[in-house]
């Protein structure tokens, strides 16, 4: 099982979020938009590839994208449940 801090480190390194540290990212921070990490649509594609490579998890249920990608913790929960 991947911990939240391990996952935050993968996000920071994989998406080149040089301005962030693990402590800067709240567990329930939105992944997209100005209220959270601030990822955009290009980042979302890269994020899906990182998840597949790092965890072997494919996100194929497009109907649940909004819920899965709502926050750091919701995405990690999906990964841990589907590894």
Number of domains in the chain: 1
User: How is residue 49 written in tokens?
Assistant: 């590839």
Q: What is the DSSP letter of 24?
A: G
Handedness of CA 19, 58, 33, 27 (dihedral sign): negative
Residue 38, CA distances (Å) to 8, 11, 71 in order:
14, 12, 11
Q: What pLDDT score was predicted for residue 62?
A: 82
Q: What pTM value is reported for the model?
A: 0.92
Residue 61: per-residue pLDDT: 78
Tell me the per-residue pLDDT of 32-73, one tens digit each, with 9 for 90 and over: 998 889 999 999 999 999 999 999 999 987 889 999 999 999
Q: How sure is the predictor about 28, in pLDDT bands with cuts at 50, 70 and 90?
A: very high
CATH number for position 36? 1.10.1200.10
Predicted pLDDT of residue 60: 84
Element (DSSP H or E) covering residue 61: none
Range of the structural domain that residue 49 is part of = 4-82
């Amino acid at each position: 099982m991947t911990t939240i801090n391990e996952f935050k480190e993968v996000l920071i390194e994989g998406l080149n979020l040089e301005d962030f540290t693990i402590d800067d990212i709240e567990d329930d921070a939105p992944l997209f938009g100005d209220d959270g990490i601030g990822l955009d649509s290009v980042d979302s594609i890269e994020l899906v590839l990182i998840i597949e490579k790092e965890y072997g998890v494919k996100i194929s249920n497009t109907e649940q994208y909004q819920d899965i990608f709502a926050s750091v913790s919701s995405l990690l929960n999906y990964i841990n449940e589907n590894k």
